[in-house]
Amino acid sequence: MRLLHNRCRSTPSLRDLPNHVAAIRDAQSAIQRSDRETLRAHTLQLREFVQRGAEVASPKVLALGGALVCEAVAQVLGKSLYDVQLTAGIILAHGAVAEMQTGEGKTLSGLMPAVLHALSGRGVHVATPNTYLATRDFETLRPVIEHLGLTAGCLSDDADHGQRAAAYECDITYAPGYAFGFDYLRDQMALRSTAGGRLGDQLRQRLRGAASETQLLQRGRHCAILDEIDHVLVDDATSPLILSAAGDREAPDAAIHQAAKQIAATLSAEEHFQIAPDGSGLELLPAGIEAIYDDSAPTGDPQLRRAWHEYVHLALRATHQFHRDVHYIVTADKVRIIDASTGRVFDDRTWNDGQHQAIEAKEGLRITTEQTALARITRQRFYRMYDVLCGMTGTAAGCAAELNEFYHLSVVEVPLRVPSRRRTLASVRCTDIQEKRNRIVDEARNCQRRGQPVLIGTHSIAESQQLAERFETEGLRFELLNGKQDADEAEIIAAAGRCGAITIATNLAGRGTDIHLDADAAAAGGLHVIITQHHAIDRVDRQLIGRSARQGDPGSVRFYYALDDPLIRQAPWIARWLERQIANPSDHSDRDSQRLANMIAKLQVQHQRRQASLRRDLLQKDLATQNLIVKPRTRSAQGIEK
């Protein structure tokens, strides 16, 4: 067991962790095979004890609470919690983060701290990266929670006000991380519309006991348990949460977006604008501004919401930085955003500050009115408001310092339950994407012949579709999981570990996806993961790798590289090295694979630093203003609106 950085207030004592586990085991033997009513009576007693002031992380509460959860899991799910799961649960009960490798059983580990923190009667919010995982965890764990006499609710995306409020009344509420933030903003808007005044004042009044007629959704922010905490607090935290008034009418400035699109098509890179080498930014050059402000510039138009050159800038970004089937899809004449690290498609989100409209113009769709931002908050500021914040992930290494700096969280590494049997195979280096596809097809075919299931992780819907076309031409049996497929996601995942299965997927098959092997698949070597190219965030790669060799199963992983990979093109020194390697194929050794992996890791670290610095700026600005309300016509940071 290891602490990944400086100790802070809520760090558990590493030396005491095994003693707590032993105490839970002892306490469980005393209540083993008790009937449901007895377990509920014990829970009630413990609840009273906590509500009289006992600490959740005190030895007595941990021992009895842990024992009750273990016994309920055994009776309802027929499973016995592993020591590593109890250890992780104890770390969370202290208000810290447990790094537990992928597949080690985090879903069940999070149950004990959820129950313990719920004993206060003030509600626990369990946040997951997406609705699919929130629903799955809720459905699995609700019977256990109810067995102990507690209640559980889940926020579905389409739940109305009443259903949401009912879910929040429960002891434990499951939802995707962003849903808690948006509901907080909704409550703040409701308070403001009934009474006026500064956002937050009314809530403070209500917490002090003053009467309020407003029907709020949330009971407050006592405890948040974040599954995949690095996704919720780091990856997702690059954009703020912005609550907006729906705007589905034709935009008054639609003609201006169209004109901007036409002008943008006449401008050229390097002469009029410049794109950052990593593709992250696009800057207009003086010659570009000059070209934009010619005689035809609609500068006096009353419909202009921003300066004319900003419209053209948006149109340029829409063309060069936002790609269909990579950043968004178009269905039913609507632009729908794809989440970069999870591959999920969001139906009800839009990019803000006119970017969405510029993309609609590019795609030849009806240009909708920009949504009016009503309230906004950074996820960093929102989650810092909880009395207790804790969570778990398989990939905290690499962002432990940020969790510590922004959220004052300690990260404790929990060891593997059984040694990993995952084999990392020598990477494959190709001249271009075509060669890469051919070699992936060959490898997948060989695996299928010997019965080994294969998961091929691609970067985008577009890449997954292009690969799928190749597989179709070759007559190979495969499934496609990219959010656009007709078949149910859960069914595809359930079949992905069967003997001879080939699954081509986006990051949808990453975090949280639990692929079960059948006996023949295990005998054939377990799940083989092919990664078609590195992600800029190494944790996304590690999550995909983590679909194989879970809980001591066999499994393997192989990376593919090509000279035209976007990440390699950003790093000429890697491209040169790779070219030399391709020219001397006989020289490939494990050491070379490792060297290449190290070079890519350096790029990923640089990317992560840049992103962390953006998040730091975002939080500092948010903390400096302390505003939740968005003043009309002010520009906000690039975010995603709902």
Ligand X SMILES: Nc1ncnc2c1ncn2[C@@H]1O[C@H](COP(=O)(O)OP(=O)(O)OP(=O)(O)O)[C@@H](O)[C@H]1O
Rg (CA), the chain: 26
Residue pointed to by tokens 């407003």: 214
> Contacting ligand X (CB under 6 A), which of 57, 96, 108, 455?
108
Kindly provide the b/e burial profile for residues 181-209, where b requires at least 16 CB atoms within 10 angstroms of the residue's own CB: bbbbbbbbbbbbeeeeeebeebbeebeee
- Nearest distance from C-beta of residue 328 to ligand X, angstroms: 26
Q: Which is nearer to ligand X, 100 or 563 (CB)?
A: 100
3-state secondary structure of 98: strand
CB 182, CB 218: distance < 8 Å: no
Identity of the amino acid at 235:
D
- Nearest distance from C-beta of residue 104 to ligand X, angstroms: 5
DSSP secondary structure string, 347-411? TT-EETTTHHHHHHHHTT---BPPPEEEEEE-HHHHHTTSSEEEEEES--TTTHHHHHHHH---E
Per CB under 6 A, which region of 249-257, 491-499, 544-552, 606-614 contacts ligand X?
544-552
Per CB under 6 A, which region of 86-94, 141-149, 406-414, 509-517 contacts ligand X?
509-517
Q: Is 362 annotated as a binding residue?
A: no
> Contacting ligand X (CB under 6 A), which of 105, 123, 343, 483?
105
Q: Is 622 annotated as a binding residue?
A: no
Residues 15-74 that bind ligand X (CB under 6 A): none
CB 171, CB 152: distance < 8 Å: yes
3-state secondary structure of 556: strand
- Nearest distance from C-beta of residue 418 to ligand X, angstroms: 12
Q: Is 105 annotated as a binding residue?
A: yes
Identity of the amino acid at 432:
D
Q: Which is nearer to ligand X, 100 or 522 (CB)?
A: 100
Q: Does 103 bind ligand X (CB under 6 A)?
A: yes
Alpha-carbon distance of 250 to 112, in angstroms, equals 50
Q: Is the dihedral of CA 147, 148, 149, 150 positive or negative?
A: negative
Alpha-carbon distance of 57 to 12, in angstroms, equals 9
Q: Which is nearer to ligand X, 13 or 80 (CB)?
A: 80
- Nearest distance from C-beta of residue 77 to ligand X, angstroms: 8
Q: Which is nearer to ligand X, 85 or 532 (CB)?
A: 85
- Nearest distance from C-beta of residue 126 to ligand X, angstroms: 13
Per CB under 6 A, which region of 43-51, 105-113, 246-254, 600-608 contacts ligand X?
105-113
Q: Which is nearer to ligand X, 320 or 516 (CB)?
A: 516
> Contacting ligand X (CB under 6 A), which of 12, 546, 555, 639?
546
Q: How many CB atoms lie within 10 A of CB 519?
A: 8
Q: Is 463 annotated as a binding residue?
A: no
Q: Which is nearer to ligand X, 106 or 147 (CB)?
A: 106
Kindly provide the b/e burial profile for residues 218-229, where b requires at least 16 CB atoms within 10 angstroms of the residue's own CB: bbbbbbbbbbbb
Q: Does 551 bind ligand X (CB under 6 A)?
A: yes
Q: Which is nearer to ligand X, 106 or 459 (CB)?
A: 106
> Contacting ligand X (CB under 6 A), which of 10, 43, 102, 380?
102
Q: Which is nearer to ligand X, 230 or 443 (CB)?
A: 230
Q: Does 483 bind ligand X (CB under 6 A)?
A: no
Alpha-carbon distance of 182 to 240, in angstroms, equals 10
Per CB under 6 A, which region of 15-23, 76-84, 184-192, 410-418 contacts ligand X?
76-84
Alpha-carbon distance of 320 to 275, in angstroms, equals 8
**In sequence order, what are the residues at sequence separation of 6 or more whose Cβ sits closer than 8 angstroms to the Cβ of residue 232?**
127, 129, 177, 226, 379, 383, 391
Instruction: Give me 277's structure tokens.
Output: 């080498």
DSSP secondary structure string, 118-187? HTTSS-EEEEESSHHHHHHHHHHHHHHHHHTT--EEE--TT--HHHHHHHHHSSEEEEEHHHHHHHHHHH
Site string for ligand X, 382-421 (x = CB under 6 A): ------------x---------------------------
Site string for ligand X, 78-97 (x = CB under 6 A): -xxxx--x------------
| CA proximity to 506, closest of 478, 539, 465, 473 | 465
Residue pointed to by tokens 């700026």: 617
Per CB under 6 A, which region of 17-25, 102-110, 118-126, 157-165 contacts ligand X?
102-110
Per CB under 6 A, which region of 204-212, 277-285, 360-368, 507-515 contacts ligand X?
507-515
Q: Which is nearer to ligand X, 109 or 378 (CB)?
A: 109
SS (H, E, C) 303-361: CCCCCHHHHHHHHHHHHHCCCECCCEEEECCEEEEECCCCCCEECCCEECCCHHHHHHH
Alpha-carbon distance of 503 to 343, in angstroms, equals 15
> Contacting ligand X (CB under 6 A), which of 157, 514, 564, 592?
514
Q: Does 512 bind ligand X (CB under 6 A)?
A: yes
Q: Does 126 bind ligand X (CB under 6 A)?
A: no
Q: Does 518 bind ligand X (CB under 6 A)?
A: no
Q: Is 398 annotated as a binding residue?
A: no
How many chain residues interact with ligand X (CB under 6 A)?
A: 20
- Nearest distance from C-beta of residue 507 to ligand X, angstroms: 13
Q: Does 606 bind ligand X (CB under 6 A)?
A: no
- Nearest distance from C-beta of residue 185 to ligand X, angstroms: 28
- Nearest distance from C-beta of residue 27 to ligand X, angstroms: 18
CB 94, CB 20: distance < 8 Å: no
Instruction: Give me 401's structure tokens.
Output: 């310092």
- Nearest distance from C-beta of residue 520 to ligand X, angstroms: 18
> Contacting ligand X (CB under 6 A), which of 107, 369, 606, 636?
107
Binding site, by residue number, is 85, 103-107, 514
Residues in contact with ligand X by CB under 6 A are: 79-82, 85, 100, 102-108, 394, 511-512, 514, 546, 550-551
Binding site for ATP, by residue number, is 85, 103-107, 514
